[in-house]
Amino acid sequence: MPAIGAVQPVHVATWIEAGTRELAAPSVKQRLAAIRHLFDWLVTGQVVPINLAASVRGPRHVVTSG
Partner 1 sequence: MATPCGSVDRAAGRVPAYALDRSHEVQELNNPQPVIEGCVLRHIADPPACGQRIDRHVDPGDADISGRRGQVPGSFLCIDRGGLRVLAGGDLVNELVPFRSSTLPELVAAAGERAGMRFLEFFAANIRNPHTRRAYARAADEFLA
User: Length of the chain in residues, anyone?
Assistant: 66
Instruction: Classify 32 as helix, strand or coil.
Output: helix
Which residues, including other chains, have CB under 8 Å from residue 9's CB and lie 6 or more apart? Answer: 52, 53, 55, 56
Q: Does 37 bind partner 1 (CB under 8 A)?
A: yes
Q: Does 54 bind partner 1 (CB under 8 A)?
A: no
CB closer to partner 1, 24 vs 34:
34
Residues that bind partner 1 (CB under 8 A): 1-7, 11-12, 14-15, 18-19, 21-22, 30-31, 33-35, 37-38, 41-42, 45, 47
